Amino acid sequence: MMQVVVLASESRYRAELLSRLCIDFIKMRPDIDESPYPKENAQQLCQRLARQKAHTVRDQLHANNSDEHNDQVAEHLIIASDQMAFGANQLLGKPGSVDAALAQLEAISGQQVIFYTALNILNSRTSQDYVAMDITTVRLRKLDRQTIRRYVERELPLDCAGSFKAECLGITLFDSISSEDPTGLIGLPLIKVCDGLRQFGMQLP
């Protein structure tokens, strides 16, 4: 049975991370509503969205393949991930603008931010799920407005929850990072991805 790895994301960050494993994969965009449910916390939200992304892509693959019950059809291993950040007593989304990034960094300056990165790997043929969660804690140093503005203008982290890129210049903003997997903070926890793919029969490396 041929296995095809599918990344359920168009994120360039996740694609770059998955490329580190030296495996071939295709990308598909899961079209879902990412609005939180009432009283849903950050961990619950990213777990639900990761699962929904994987199952939405599975349904798209089945819809595109009229012979899905044929034994010769490829087995797709669909990798979906979602990340939520919580700090300053609120969910921290992608800022989207310079002003929002400045405000977000001012709000979390000198504070702790927790990143929840949920992983869901789905076997398209068996509907078996591999589910995992990476939790990373970042403590920012106390930042003055000039430092914050200088950072945002240089790196423009407008598509990153928390308004920083830990893999780049954002590391200068931190006092500490606590994590079992440094790739989780970037958006795809590769240690857990490898564990899941091995459980589905892939050989890594």
Residue 118 has phi, psi (to 5 degrees) of -90, 145
Tell me the longest C-alpha to C-alpha distance in the chain: 61
Give the bridge partners for 135, in sequence order: 116
Q: What is the distance between the alpha carbons of residues 80 and 85, in angstroms, rounded to a whole number?
A: 17
Look up 129 and say whether it is catalytic. no
The candidate with the shortest Cα–Cα distance to 85, out of 11, 167, 160, 143, is 160
Q: How many CB atoms lie within 10 A of CB 48?
A: 18
Q: What is the distance between the alpha carbons of residues 184 and 138, in angstroms, rounded to a whole number?
A: 12
Yes or no: say if 147 and 100 are a contact pair by the CB < 8 Å rule.
no
Residue 202 has phi, psi (to 5 degrees) of -85, 145
The candidate with the shortest Cα–Cα distance to 138, out of 160, 118, 110, is 110
Q: Catalytic pick from 82, 129, 144, 159?
A: 82
Yes or no: say if 169 and 151 are a contact pair by the CB < 8 Å rule.
yes
Kindly list the catalytic residues: 82
